[in-house]
Amino acid sequence: MCDWDFIGGFFKDLQTESPMLGRFWLVLMLVFRIVILGTVASDMFEDEQEEFTCNTLQPGCKQVCYDLAFPISQYRFWVFHIVLIATPSLLYLVYATHQHNKSANPSPSKKRSSRENREEKALRTLYIITLISRIVAEIGFLFVQWYLYGFKVEAQFPCDRFPCPYTVDCFTSRPAEKTVFLLFYFAVGVISAFSSVVELLYSSGKWFCSNQKKLDLYDQCDCENLHNLKQEETEEKAKESVTSTSSRKASNTGNRTKSPRGKYVSGSRLTV
């Protein structure tokens, strides 16, 4: 159980980095897969090869028939499934923890806002990749489970492989319980794949709308800045127009002189 506790500790840390739909997937992994597989299923599949019997004493016949009936033990198949499904999420957790540690000790030479935006974008991209990997793995394991075991564990299994002298009948242990677990884990896999697809659509739509709002805000700010610049240019042109008018009036006033009769006349009209 120490290995399961180790994986469970990673999932508890991952819960803080996941949205609500991601936490629902974690509940499926922790409760309906890891806990049940580590407690109930381990006892059920512990003696599956020993209890697999055939109606012959031919050496080697029992082993080859068991290998034909169960190419991979169901218990080991589900353990490998959990490890492979959990790997992308654990990689995301390691990267997110590393980024948070870097944010806790920011570098003074970099701008904080631009660095945070880059880190947030990288985390979002990695999370989307994690979801896609999880969905592919879930669907792949569902197909492989159906291909290997179907939906029922047969109580009687005929076998005619060498070195069996003839077609022998082999019998599996606890076929009804194993059938229930087979259907249970298949249903959990379907629910997990469906929740991952919904989470992918929700996260992609949410982050796309968030980026669109930021772009709209930037466009609005650019429009306001452009309007302010045009207004400033208009005011500057008005000031220049007023200044040039005042200078022309001052120039016309300086070109006039006073006549002997007390009237101001233009200096160009005075002759000797």
Domain extents in the chain: 2-102+118-224
Position 257 scores a pLDDT of: 45
**Domain 2-102+118-224 sits in CATH 1.20.1440.80:** yes
Position 211 scores a pLDDT of: 59
Ranked by mean pLDDT, the top range of 86-100, 156-170, 225-239 is 156-170
Q: How far apart are CA 73 and CA 59, in angstroms?
A: 22
**pLDDT above 70 (res 161):** yes
Give me the mean pLDDT over the 97-113 stretch.
Answer: 61
Give me the mean pLDDT over the 194-200 stretch.
Answer: 90
Position 144 scores a pLDDT of: 94
Give me the mean pLDDT over the 142-154 stretch.
Answer: 91
Q: Which residue has the higher pLDDT, 124 or 19?
A: 124
Residue 162, phi-psi category: left (phi > 0), alpha (psi -120 to 50), beta (remainder): beta
Residues near 86 by beta carbon (within 8 Å), at least 6 away in sequence: 7, 10, 11, 29
Write the pLDDT tens digit of every residue in 27-65. 888 888 888 888 888 778 877 888 888 888 888 888 899
Residue of 65, 40, 265, 72 whose CA lies nearest to 171: 65
Q: Which residue has the higher pLDDT, 241 or 150?
A: 150
Give me the mean pLDDT over the 197-218 stretch.
Answer: 72
Q: In percent, how much of the chain has pLDDT > 70? A: 63
Upstream peptide bond of 71 is cis (omega within 30 degrees of 0): no
pLDDT band at 203 (very low <50, low <70, confident <90, very high): confident
Residue of 227, 241, 177, 198 whose CA lies nearest to 42: 177
For residue 57, which amino acid is it?
Answer: L
Give the Cα-Cα-Cα angle 225, 229, 231 (nearest 5 degrees). Answer: 115
Average pLDDT, the chain: 75
